Amino acid sequence: MSELLLIRHGETEWSRDGRHTSWTDLPLTANGEDQARALRPLLSARKIAQVYASPMARALRTAELAGLPSPQIVDDLREWDYGGDEGITTAEIHRTRPGWYLFDDGVAPGPADHPGESPEEVGARADRVLALIAPHLEADEGDVALVAHAHFLRVLTARRLGLPATAGGLFTFGTGAVGVLGTEHDRPAVVAWNARSL
């Protein structure tokens, strides 16, 4: 079976500063562009049959610089909708909600067009993405690459491994890094994580 390559976009100003970023469409920093370019040798060494990306500019630019041009855009790959926590750091959230943890507590309600999502809602999107790519993984014609965002990809990893969406909190994911999900004894398994070389 083919492997699933999870690619987190390169650094943005807000990711560098620890601000929750979902619908705010920030560009990559110069360092973020360097991180994306640095993935090119790793990815070019693999046979990649399908590439899907979030519609956000930071994901699309990462795909381009990493040598994955013209990905199929999938809206379900967008980041967790942080609702009223958009642009706010965890430390700032803790001032009014001590002990808050995204994967357990979700987010504060936001504006009508970005109300926020629960872990279960993000998990449902991850399940739709996994259903979309399943035939390509099973066809074993090459790897499938997803270029997206940290929290969403963490939830998708949990769901691929048969865990609840809240288990995404078990996986950290740096900017410009790759996770590889494959199988062991025909069961989903983590092959590599937070990698910048394989």
The whole-angstrom separation of Cα 168 and Cα 186 is 22
The whole-angstrom separation of Cα 22 and Cα 11 is 14
Residue 79 CB partners (closer than 8 Å, separation 6+): 21, 22, 23, 54, 56, 148, 149, 150, 151, 152
Tell me the catalytic residues: 9, 79
Q: Decide: residue 113, CB within 10 A, 0-12 exposed, 13-18 middle, 19+ buried.
A: exposed
